[in-house]
Amino acid sequence: MSDVIFGLDTFGDVPEDDTGALASYAQAIRQVVDEAVLADQIGVDAIALGARNRSRSSDTTSAITTSSSKRRSTCS
């Protein structure tokens, strides 16, 4: 039996607050980084960041978001 690898993916969608207002792109990217760090802390094996091809996606620079996540996580 092979090992199972558990991963998550995101397009960095810009979240709405309780009033329906959109968060800033900077806040959305910080949230993606926070989610990636939390995923690492709880044992998720991989996180994939999609390219910005939707109007409410914040992540136009996946490489920067990935490196920011890696700096704050325990992955090598």
Closest of 42, 41, 54 to residue 10, by C-alpha: 54
Closest of 50, 55, 54 to residue 7, by C-alpha: 50
Whether residue 5 is predicted with pLDDT greater than 80 in this model: the reply is yes
Residue-range domain boundaries for the chain: 7-72
Give the pLDDT of residue 13: 79
- The verdict on pTM exceeding 0.75 is no
Q: Encoding tokens for residue 7? A: 């991963």
The DSSP secondary structure of the chain, one letter per residue, reads -PPP--EEEE--BPPB-TTSPBPPHHHHHHHHHHHHHHHHHTT--EEEE----STTB--S-HHHHHHHHHHHSS--
Q: What is the mean pLDDT of residues 52-75?
A: 59
